[in-house]
Structure 1
Amino acid sequence: MFKRIIYFTFFLSLWLGGIAFRTVLIWAFSTTLITYGVLPLVYHFCPALQRHLVFLTFVNYPRSIDFSKPEKEGLPGTRNFYLDTEENVKVGVWHILPESLLSSMPVETTDRDAWFENSLSDHRPVILYLHGNTASRAVAHRIELYNVLRKMDYHVVAFDYRGYADSTPIPPNETGVVHDAKVVYRYVKERIGSSPFIVWGHSLGTGSPTLTTDTSNTAVGAVLEQDTDDGCHPLAFFSKKLMTAEQKYSTFDMELLAVYKAVRHFHHMLEGRRFVVQTDHQPLVHAFTKSVDAWSAWQQRTCQQ
């Protein structure tokens, strides 16, 4: 409805500005026909265009990345290697060590690869990161996420699907990128032993994490979990003591504050993806189905932020 109002207002302003009414009608009809008729038909009957718009491999930034030297991108203690996913197809992979292992990493290149592979079975959690469309595993916001996870003492394995970055430059499709992910998954799974294993994705490679929040009279807390076939696996925990003024909030406002603080704390992991918020406060669930006009100014600001 809002878009229609803007659309109508724009053409009305053209007419009031002195442009002939017939010309305005022709422009309005033409743009409507192109937007809602021609473009959808072109998209529907052009698989190549669909593939380009879904995978966006042509959006490649930053350029001139040396993937063999991830330390130049702010990732010391990272191994770069390649896996053959099928004949004539390889994908570039990074294994990013937990922060606690950086000091024990060997310098010699002969033992380095074997040491990295053996470290995956050291009982620290291992995260296989599946990035979304556009760019590569070396884009700044993904590197920021790797560093957050490694500070939590996680191994991180990140790779680029076919058609991206330094992987084989062939047009990707759904079957191909899923196959690439399965090959990297099996590679990691065969080497981690009994270490916890979590598949973590954004956008194109997304999964749906769950953020469970709760509050007491003096503090708020949350746990971020990943849903798998074996149930929910905890990824990280959060708690924060409430200020004196916050302890006087109503139950509804305290539960809302718990969600707000938890989302802000885990924004590196939640930004740009769908996730589920669980709360034991039923009024908070119902509140999100009502008009925000019924909320106080503080409640509206908290939700918007």
Structure 2
Amino acid sequence: MDTMRDRFAPVVSRLLDEDPRVAVVLAEIGMADLEEAQIRHPDRVINVGIREQLLVGAGAGLALAGLRPVVHTFASFLVERPFEQVKLDLGHQGVGAVLVSAAASFDWPAGGYTHMAPGDVALLDTLDGWTVHVPGHPDEAETLLRHAVAAGDDKVYVRLSVQSNAEALPVDGSRFLTVREGRAGVVLAVGPVLDAVLAATEGLDVTVLYATTVRPFDAAALRRATETAGTDVVLVEPYLAGTSTSAANDALADLPHRVLGLGVGRRELRRYGRIDEHVAAHGLDAGSLRERIGEFLRAGVRVGL
């Protein structure tokens, strides 16, 4: 199966052909896959070189000129390094862009910590008005990328990963999907962690929700799920643990509830390893998730919540 990032160049190439407003801005990363598109659209495929602050600034300039910029590089170089430009050139100036990242939290362990960005979604959460898509399958990535480009002039972040679920679900760019129904708690799986969550909760009487759009947070779907499954909620996110706990707490603010946020830990892992070793080290493999989710739900039963 191809990866989410494998879909990026073909999709944006077609979008360039279809929509004269679309422009693509790169910082070397991904340029080789868009050489033919650049020949066809030399004024709308722009490579700024390894200058990530300029990458975002140039995208904002194109947006000010009326174009719909798609800005792409690794997550650490797209959100963290040029954060001031994301905040000011896009947010302060009131213009939008589609930021499309690669490498996710630790998709290229050999690149070291400079190429890891588990805090990207949490960092964007400090800003107003961002839509955040976290697809869990290449088909979903293609759908959500098209949603993002078509979203007027909004600010949209699309987080691509080489990690993937086995099958795509029919995502719509807004709602959480109910994948499994139960009565003893709600587990919300974000993007590529769904398969691990389904394996971890096999045989448990829990509702499993699936999120590929985490901002805006679908509070209505979470509340509906708690009507039958109770208000013990576990969030499993493929980035910094606890990123969405405040959103879940806000959704259930008028109800007695408990929320557990699972995800990538804050402790830096200083060995390269493989992706699956990083997943296990952060407790995001199916076995670890089953233990942590089960312990949390059992604690709720003991205290009568």
- Larger C-alpha radius of gyration, 1 or 2? 1
Instruction: Give the alignment's TM-score, normalised by structure 2.
Output: 0.28
